[in-house]
Structures are given as C-alpha cells and as structure tokens.
Structure 1
Amino acid sequence: MSFPDLLPQLGDWTNDIRGRLIPNQPLNEITWFRVGGPAQLYFQPADEADLQLFLKNLPKDIKLTVMGLGSNLLIRDGGLDGVVLRLSGKGFGKVEALGDHKLRVGAALPDVKVATAAAEHGIDGLTFYRGIPGGIGGALYMNAGCYGTETKDRMVELRGVNRDGEIVTLTNADMGYKYRKNNGPRGVVFTQAVYQGFEGEPDDIKARMKEITETREGSQPTRARTGGSTFKNPEGHSSWKLVDAAGCRGLKVGDAQVSEKHCNFLLNLGEATAHDIETLGETVRNRVRENSGIELRWEIRRMGHFVPGQEVKEFLDGDVFTGQV
C-alpha cells in the first residue's frame, strides 16, 4: 500500500531542508526484522540545525514518529502515516571524550560503538552497551540495559529538539527512568547525550567486552532477522523461561518463529510478514498466561497500521498455532 504524498502539503519551506525527504519510503529495508509497510514521508536531517528547521515548520497536526536503528521495532504491514524521522550517522554519530571520564555521543551512534569508544579512552562503566543491539537514541528512550547496568545508571545529560524546533537540555532526573521506559517530556527528538563512567584500563575493558560478545553470540540468535528481546522480564521471572515452560520454543506462525536458541527472540525466517510476527508474539503471550498466569508485556515497540482484514488482537483467544514446533 502507499500513502498520499505529504510533500506538496508542507509548502515551499521544505526547499530549505538539506537532508533527505522521501515519500512512501519502504521501512522493511531498514528494520532488523525486515518487515513492515512504508513511511508516508521519511525524513533524515543533515544535522541538528536542519532538524530544528524541519520541526519548527512541521504542522503540529502531522504525526511524527522517531525511528532509531530499527532493532527493537516492529513496523506493521500497513506502514506509518505522517513523518518518520531517522537520524543519520553522518550528522548525529559523533563521539567525544570530555575529561573526568565523561563521553558525549550522538544519538545515531550504535551502542556497540559507544562501548568501544569508551574503552579506547579508558572509560569504564559502559561495557554493557556491547551487549545491546541498537542505537543510543533508542537506548535513551527505553532505558536500555543488560548485565546489571541500565542507561539511567550512566547518562547524566541529554540534548534534543522539541516540536517547536527549540533545543532542550534534560538531566537524568528529568527523564524519570523506569524499567525499559522513560517518563520524560514528550515530543523531544534526542540528538546527543553525555555519559559518566569511571577510570579503567583499556585492555581490561576490551577483554570484558569480548566476553560479553562471546556470551551473547553463544546464547542469542545474533545473526538472524530479529528485533532483540521480545518481552520484558516480569518482576522475579525471566521471560524466556516462561516462554519455554509454555511449550513455545520453536513455535511458528507463517515464516515467523520463536528462536530455539533463545526463546525470548522472535525470528523472521525469510518471508515473514509483520502480521506473522505479531500474531506469533500474541500467541506466545496467551500460552504463557494460560500456563503460568503471568502476563508478558512487549519490549519490542509495535507501531503502524494493520493491513485491513489482518488485524492482530492482543491476547488472542484460542490457539492460532499454524506451524510446527
């Protein structure tokens, strides 16, 4: 499907935009699941000033969706109306050591590169980012973490642009971080952040990063088409254990499958649709509830429109299993 072209509605001010403006950009090309419909208008600003100009002029009644590297995301097959904004590595991927074991990083920088840069500067405390697939913008939004450390433990200052095109600076406290979420001000596009680490030996830090890499590759489907961890861990429980206990390891719907290697990961085996993946996820949630009484909550962000006639209802009633374990 496709959307009406938004560009003619926006007016001549878009001629001053230096970044990319693409109507009906397919989003399956840039999400890790490799599924999903188009963005009505895709915008990739050249730099922060370009972003300010765009947001200042964009009518407030036009929906704006900010997308990171596309790792922890499921775009539905009907696509996203309005504007989908994605920061480029060229304009928002810089990293800078500030002294006192602080690091300033652009929001488009992949998490792994933040961990690597910190190690090279002898800054410890950011090794956990080696184990998180995605970018800093998403990590700041959802308080990403692993191996006992979360974004909120290291981020001290955040910079962004609001819907009026104004630069805003936020502290850690302003973000009100909780488990895998923030309670900060809405409508701010994060552009960079400052992290506080502590002194460490580069070789020691890199050795721990290598251990994280080996552990992750040994236990997770890191080379598959996946969105990372699918469900949040309920308090006192591990999602993967609940999924496994409910008999969902290897479960398939269409060409979507629960990973046999780590069953808190959903996979696109090659030809899956977003409908397949979301249906599989809701089937897993239903089976876990029936088996344990525990309600799993999605960690992966699901957004966009369903294709008419292919809607997915939360907590599906009955068994929709259509494949083989």
Structure 2
Amino acid sequence: MGNYDALLVLSFGGPEGPDDVMPFLENVVRGRGVPRERLLEVAEHYLSFGGISPINQQNRDLVEALRPVAGVPVYWGNRNWHPFGEDVVRQMRADGVQKAAVFATSAFAGYSSCRQYYEDIARISVEGGPELVKMRHYGDHPGFVAAMADHTRAALERLGRDDARLVFTAHSVPVSMAETAGPSGGLYEAQLRRSAELVSQALGRTEPWDLVWQSRSGPPQVPWLEPDVCDHLRKINAPAVVLVPIGFVSDHMEVVYDLDTEAKAVAAELGLPLERAATAGTHPRFVQMVRELMDEPEPVPCALTCCPPPRRRPRS
C-alpha cells in the first residue's frame, strides 16, 4: 500500500463557455505546430455545444462520488484548463498533504494516454509539496470492465435486439506512436483489445466484435490507426450496432461529437440502428476501482524511454 494522505484526479480539462474555447485549444496544441484553421474547425465542435465540454462536470461528479470511498481528501486538477494541476498541487502543499495517489482519467498505455501524465506530474510538482504517485493502467481492472459491461448491456437493451454488433472505439493515434507504446511497443492497441474482450466475455457474448478508431487530428500524410469509426459503419455487415467507447472514461467532447453527432448521423444516413454505450463515468464499480488501486502496492514508474513522444514534423 502507498500510505497516501490524498487523492488527485488528474485530467485533460475543457472549456466552460464560448470565451474559453480558443484559449483552451491553444493550451492543448502549444508547441505542436497545429494550423489555426484546424483549431477553428475543432472550436466549432465545442461551440455547437455552447462552448462547454462535458468533461469538467463529469470530473466534479467523479470527485464527489470518490469522497465517501477514498478515505482521504480528494483533489482535482487539469492539464489544459482550470483548475490547473499546478495550482491544485500548491493548494495540497498548503493543506499539508505529504503523499498523494494520482488517478489519471486515461486507462491505457501510450504517450498521450500515460507518458504525458508522468510529464504533467513532474511539471506540477512543487518544492516542499506532496510526493505524487501515478496509479497503474486500469483498462483490465474488474471494476472498469464491470462498469463498461453494465453500460453496454443497457445500450443493447435500449436497442431492443440481440443481434447488434459491438463496435469498440478508442482515440486514434499516429501509427508510430502506437508502435512505441509500452516497453516492447504495441501496448496501447493490445490493452484496448484485451479490455474489449473482457467486456464481451462479461456480457456472455461469443459473437465477433470490432475495435475501431475516432478523433484523428493529424495531417493526412501521417499514418494513424484505422479504420475510422464512420468509415467502418459505412462498410459494416451488421443489422445493428452498439458503439462502446472503451478508450474513454467520461463522455467528453470527442465522445459526444464524434460518436453522438457524426457517427450517429452516418448510421441514420445508412438506416443502421445504432446505440452508444455510456463511458465508465461514476458507475459504482468504477468509483470503487479507484479505491482498490490505492490499496495496491505502489506502482513502479515506467522507464523514461517508455512511450516516447511523437516526432514533430517541421512546418514547411
């Protein structure tokens, strides 16, 4: 056990009004050379929802659900928007916190999904502040699997048919990034496939399922993981589909726009019955899982060579 005296929920962050959208996106892509035209395009996704990402409220809900079970004070900080992690850690220092478990709202290996959280921890740590210990990957944890199985079962019931194909979705990343995820490479996709298989087994299903990708944001000349969910729906041979966002733990913008807006529009165009399973969110087993992770032996940090950042192509 880690003998933690606090829990920090560390997340991505999101805008909470129209005026926040562009400053938030500029924080997300700082140093990456992303064209402004692409930012304006993504900004429209947020503005179509009033400039508010669901992720912040979902993190507030998760924190409130964790307070009765964590056994220690629970804090919440973000990488890209208020409350910024560095401000929260300074508050933790003022509160006398000595050692905190860090629960990242990302379950899998990879640069963006894991290594970058280690970088966040190094960046937001302050002299005299608490030791911050990132919890392990948890996509195969029984609590995560149970939560996703329950939500998938509910989606199947809403659809009202047993012959629906399960299509699991996760955030696409550059192929080069996927190939270097984990100590031996390929761990991001391998972990996602393992989680999807565990959810399917928990539902007692023997039918084939698919793993597809969403939310690609890179230039067309750079290979990313495929197929895209919308392309897959256009080619699928199935009477109905349940989309299962296995790669996400909350219904943030890339879920509600890419799946609930774009993918559902494609399904409607095709006349394909479709439902989307909820993310883990505040499911009781998911919440209890966080407490169980804190009770495990303290995880060994990954090697600094694990999940290297992608090479940035210079802009011409």
TM-score scaled by structure 1? Answer: 0.27
Name the structure with the higher strand share: 1
Question: Which structure's relative contact order is higher, taking Cα pairs within 8 Å and 6+ residues apart?
Answer: 2
